[in-house]
Amino acid sequence: MKAGTNERVAMAISGHKTRAVFDRYHIVDTEDVVNAMRRVQGTVGPKSRTSRNGESSVKVIRRRRPLKRLTA
């Protein structure tokens, strides 16, 4: 996955037949999250802000009302 392989291909390579087992063993570490956020910030464009230390930040828009819950 870190090499950019599609999840289905990675499952075929590793021999995982179900998504549940694949998810159990596909551990996401902090470095993965940080790298993903940097990639996201690079695609934001003019809406990103640069702080005094040169790091970019992205404004998070919050929903004013909660999502409706579906009941069965």
E strand intervals along the chain:
49-50, 56-57
**Alpha-carbon Rg of the chain, whole angstroms?**
18
pLDDT at 71: 64
What is the distance between the alpha carbons of residues 29 and 31, in angstroms, rounded to a whole number?
Answer: 5
What is the distance between the alpha carbons of residues 49 and 31, in angstroms, rounded to a whole number?
Answer: 22
Q: Which two tokens stand for residue 63?
A: 């929903």
Q: Which residues of the chain carry a pLDDT beneath 70?
A: 44-72
pLDDT at 70: 64
